[in-house]
Structure 1
Amino acid sequence: MSSDVIVHTENLGKCYEIYDRPKDRLLQMLARGRKQYFREFWALRNISLEIRRGENVGIVGHNGSGKSTLLQLLAGTLNQTTGTVSVSGRVAALLELGSGFNPEYSGRENVKMYAQLLGMSDEQIDERFDRIVDFSEIGDFIDQPLKTYSSGMYVRLAFSVAVHVNPEILIVDEALSVGDAFFQAKCMALLKKLMDDGVTLLFVSHDPGAVKALCSRAVLLDHGSMLANGDTESVVETYYAQYVQRRQSIAVSDGKVRVTDAAADKAAAIAEDAESEAAFKSRSSYQRLQNGMAEYVNVTLLDSRGRPARSADFGEQVTLRVKIRVQRDLPRLSFGYHIKDKNGFDIVYSDSGIEQCNIESPRAGSVHVVDWTFRARLKEGEYTVAAVLAVPVDLSIGLVETCDHVPIACQFRIDRAGHLPIYGATAWDNKVTVIEVQTPPLLERV
């Protein structure tokens, strides 16, 4: 086995004994192998897999396909029935909700106990404890028993410990779906940083978009067997094909992005909303980059009536309103936005260069309001808006001077609202033509 192979399995299998009646367990024990009183259920069978150091591998499959069983075998929390498994390096696993935690202990006690189980010394734990608590956003609850925590608090604390122990292999099993959208965005940003630092990631998710966003390779499991193992795109396409075979649907598309100019009369008509701007300042602070030349004062989503909205129906016309303050005289100012799904994967993008509406020669102290109006034809789910301000320098080579980059400027949800689900990330206008090229003859009545 190559030295850079960090996970190796050969003909790995896990079989469970299923007893139809409680007394069959006793009969099986007394039979001493002469007779079988149980049925065999193979959760995994003949899994041979190699994962190299620094690889990011997604594991996909429908419910009951064996994904969680495989991760538990790799994490060492479950023993295999057949085959071999070899894992090299420090493993941090985020499996079932609250696994490794004691609900009777406080958050502080559980952090220390869990970190010790992952191989950290008392000195290392003390050094990183504040960072763990800050990232988890538990606050004063850190000294309360875990049994008083919500499921989201459980996940935030467990994830924060797992990623701060400097793991060589990080195993994540659907746990992030419990957290809120803001925390999911933080987690995705940190996961990408860990991957850039060479951490090996094994990631299970029912969301193919998450797998595409994080993983360069994927494995498809079905009824305990490995159906596909290769690049993420091809494996996810196979997974989608399976899904479509089980649930057929039709998606109808229609939508358009429109930008309106921030005219002075419109800006004057927009009332100052100190509470909304304070909320924006608070949520926008995470990983925000500024150079003091221009900044976003507020970013909000408005419904079709111009009211602030936290959610929108599929296909509803909405407006993304951004308020910009210029802090220095500038030759030109460009602005743009990204709409990202809950995994941080870019779904929609536009900027003032594309729409040909840069702000020319803005003066220090000027304030501008820009409305991006579009129909929200996005797949049902949670979304985050990232906003960017920049001074163009040399667009022929993509050189700009970033004034303000806000990774989490606004968040909203898209609801299906009676429409059939769509299986792509978004939908757009289509012109559809149907022509009947052959008409069958009418059958004569006998």
Structure 2
Amino acid sequence: MSSEPMMIRAEGLGKCYRVYERPEDRLKQSVVARWRGLRGQPPPQYYREFWALREVSLELRRGETLGIIGRNGSGKSTLLQMLCGTLAPTTGRVETGGRIAALLELGAGFNPEFTGRENVYLNGSVLGLTQAEVDARFERIAAFADIGTFIDQPVKTYSSGMYVRLAFAVAVNVDADVLVVDEALAVGDMYFQAKCMAHIQRLIDDGVSLLFVSHDVGAVKSVCQRALYLDRGQPVALGETAGVVEAYYSARVQAERAARPTPEAASPELPAQDLFDPADLEAQAEFARRADFQRIRNGQAEFLDVRLTDLDGQPLECVEFGQTVVLRMLFRANQAIALAGMAYHVRDRTGYDIIYSDTEIESRPITDLRAGQVVQTDWRFTVRLREGDYSIAAMLSIPENLEIAQVDVCDFVPIALAFKVVRGETLPLHAACHWQNEVAHRTLEGEA
């Protein structure tokens, strides 16, 4: 249990809205219900209840980062508004400690008639800063927003990008204890997003807590230690980010599969082939146990084994930087398949995707499979990753429309294997990975 002080604690949070089918029902509810209440009679109900959020509990301590994921309408923004105190819960309670700076929906907290400068002072006062404290921070805020002379123009003339630049600049420069970010960064340009993420990481390193909502699960994986997955206002999973993201991904795939019929698949026995010797049956049984975490299968085809080996075929758990290895995948088609695709992700210890490839990118499609046929695929590559712990996720699918990345997932194994990269005799790597370069030097005479 962390000894850091609690910044946010929520218990049993719920938010219910009254939905009236007709305008007159609202009047009836107000008048008739009040009249009957005065007479001591039970009030009628001319509305139906809609629960935007129900029974959500969470804790956030100093320096912790919590991502909130879910599809549109799952209650993410409603939850953040209640945690920030801008929306009253119907049930449950929220306890907060310290100053909370929130970057919620675009332009929230700005007066459109005020200039950018005036809104900086307005937001600062709302967050508890004195005018002198805002004065001391103003140049830093303006420099971060980088909107030039527009700082003295009404914000109603701003583009969406300028809105979020100024709002973010204020939120991260008021010495908040908790920073809350809700999708707003999605409207910024790539440079500004990178700038924001770098600044968020510095704040985390300084002990600021973060609540982060994004549809970009890669960003959630890279930033957040823990995650909460909401679906239709209900909490589905809360825990370490990698596991929660896999639960979210699994639910999406299963929902898409349920929306269309799946042909019944036969389950033939594995035919005798010389791809692996009999001793490898034990390895395949071990793979089945290892692959069980959040695995998704539809029965049309399935992995039998995924392993990492050296060039002599010996299994590897530890790889030196610069070593060439083979990722070997064995799968079985349980029915005839005209075209299949295979992919792998190399992920770091946080679950963030570092390397990706698939048979379409490599122009090596798998075609004309018979029911019961077993295929072995070898991927050969040189490992140029920073030293550390990694895992490989494997996916087998039937392409449907690759232009929009639509596939029917036959088998997805989030953790097919794990391995460690060590530096060996090379110099340290100061980024996630290294790719092959061609370097040329040229000596120029005289001054440039």
Q: 1:346 to 1:125 in 2, by over 3 A?
A: farther
| Counterparts of residues 35-54 of structure 1 (less than 5 Å) | 35-54=44-63
Identify the residue that residue 207 of structure 1 maps to in structure 2.
216
Match of 1:90 among 75, 79, 99: 99
Q: Residue 164 of structure 1: which of 164, 170, 173 is its match?
A: 173
Structure 2: how far apart are the matches of 1:43 and 1:398? 54
The answer on whether the counterparts of 2:181 and 2:211 sit within 8 Å (CA) in structure 1 is: yes
Shift of 1:3: 6.9
Q: Which residue of structure 2 aligns with residue 72 of structure 1? A: 81
CA RMSD of aligned residues (A): 3.2
Name 1:184's counterpart in structure 2: 193
The AA in structure 1 aligned to 2:20 is Y
In 1, Cα distance between the equivalents of 2:158 and 2:137?
22
- Aligned-pair distance for 1:120? 1.4
Q: SS where residue 196 of structure 2 aligns? A: helix
TM-score under structure 2 length normalisation: 0.57
Is 1:13 the equivalent of 2:14?
A: yes
C-alpha distance in 1, partners of 2:59/2:180? 15
Which residue of structure 2 lines up, in the alignment, with residue 143 of structure 1? 152
* Deviation, structure 1 residue 188: 0.5
Between the aligned partners of 2:7 and 2:425, the Cα distance in structure 1 is 40
Cα drift, residue 118 of structure 1? 1.0
Kindly tell me: are residues 246 and 167 of structure 1, through their superposed partners in 2, closer, same or farther at Cα, counting changes over 3 Å? same
Aligned-partner SS, 1:104 = coil
Superimposed CA distance per residue, residues 189-243 of structure 1 (whole angstroms, 9 cap, x where no aligned partner): 0011111111110011111111101101000111111111100000000000111
Q: After the TM superposition, which residues 269-308 of structure 1 pair with which residues of structure 2 at under 5 Å, given as runs?
A: none
Q: Secondary structure at the match of 1:49?
A: strand
Match of 2:354 in 1: 347
User: Hey, what's the Cα distance between the residues in 2 that align with 1:102 and 1:201?
Assistant: 26
The reply to whether residue 112 of structure 1 matches residue 121 of structure 2 is yes
Indicate the SS of the match to 1:247.
helix
How far does residue 346 in structure 1 lie from its aligned partner after superposition?
Answer: 6.7
Question: How far apart are 1:348 and its partner, in Å?
Answer: 4.7
- Secondary structure at the aligned position of 1:12 is classed as strand
2:218–2:353 CA contact under 8 A, matched in 1: no
Matched, 1:129 2:138: yes
- Rounded Cα–Cα distance in structure 1 between residues aligned with 2:167 and 2:404: 29
- Partner AA of 1:159 in structure 2: F
Counterpart residue type for residue 199 of structure 2: L
1:23 alignment counterpart: 24
Distance in 1 between residues matched to 2:207 and 2:169, nearest whole Å: 18
What are the ranges of 5 or more consecutive residues in structure 1 without an aligned counterpart?
251-344, 357-376, 381-394, 406-446
State the match for 1:152 in structure 2.
161
AA aligned opposite 2:156 = K
Quote the residue 1:224 is aligned against.
233
Q: Is the 8 A contact 2:70 2:229 kept in 1?
A: yes
Q: Residue 4 of structure 2 contacts residue 62 of structure 2 at CA under 8 Å; is this kept in 1?
A: no
* Structure-2 change in CA distance of 1:346 and 1:142 (3 Å): farther
Q: Which amino acid aligns with 1:35?
A: P
Matching residue's letter, 2:72: N
The runs of 5 or more residues in structure 2 that have no matched partner are 38-42, 261-297, 299-351, 357-381, 385-401, 406-422, 432-448
TM-score (norm 1): 0.57
- How far does residue 396 in structure 1 lie from its aligned partner after superposition? 4.2
For 1:26, give the aligned amino acid.
L
- CA 1:50–1:355 in structure 2 vs 1: closer, same or farther (change >3 Å)? closer
Residue number in structure 1 paired with 2:202: 193
Equivalent in the alignment of 2:184: 175
Whole-Å Cα distance in 1 between the matches of residues 6 and 187 of structure 2?
A: 32
Listed one character per residue, the Cα deviations across residues 151-195 of structure 1 (whole Å, up to 9, x for unaligned) are 111011000100000110011100000101110000010011111
1:63 and 2:63 aligned: no
Residue deviations 1:285-322 (CA, integer Å, cap 9, x gap): xxxxxxxxxxxxxxxxxxxxxxxxxxxxxxxxxxxxxx
How big is the shift at 1:399? 4.4
Mark the CA change 1:166 to 1:397 in structure 2 (over 3 Å): closer, same or farther: farther
**d(CA) in 2 for partners of 1:184, 1:134:** 16
**Runs of 4 or more consecutive aligned structure 1 residues displaced over 6 Å after TM superposition:** 377-380
SS of the residue corresponding to residue 105 of structure 1 reads coil
Query: Cα distance, 1:247 vs. partner?
Result: 3.0
Aligned CA distance change for structure 1 residues 148 and 401 (closer, same or farther; 3 Å):
same
Please give the alpha-carbon distance, in whole angstroms, between the structure 1 residues aligned to 2:426 and 2:123: 46
Question: 2-side partners of 1:346 and 1:159: how far apart?
Answer: 27
Shift of the 397–190 alpha-carbon distance from structure 1 to 2, 3 Å rule, reads farther
Alpha-carbon distance in 2 for matches of 1:241, 1:205: 18
User: Which residues of 2 match residues 228-377 of structure 1 at below 5 A?
Assistant: 228-247=237-256, 347-348=354-355
SS in 2 for 1:142: helix
Distance 2:425 2:118 in 1: 53
Equivalence for 1:302? none
Partners of 1:378 and 1:85 in 2: CA distance: 45
User: Secondary structure of the residue that 2:109 maps to in structure 1?
Assistant: coil
CA-CA distance at 1:5 after TM superposition: 2.0
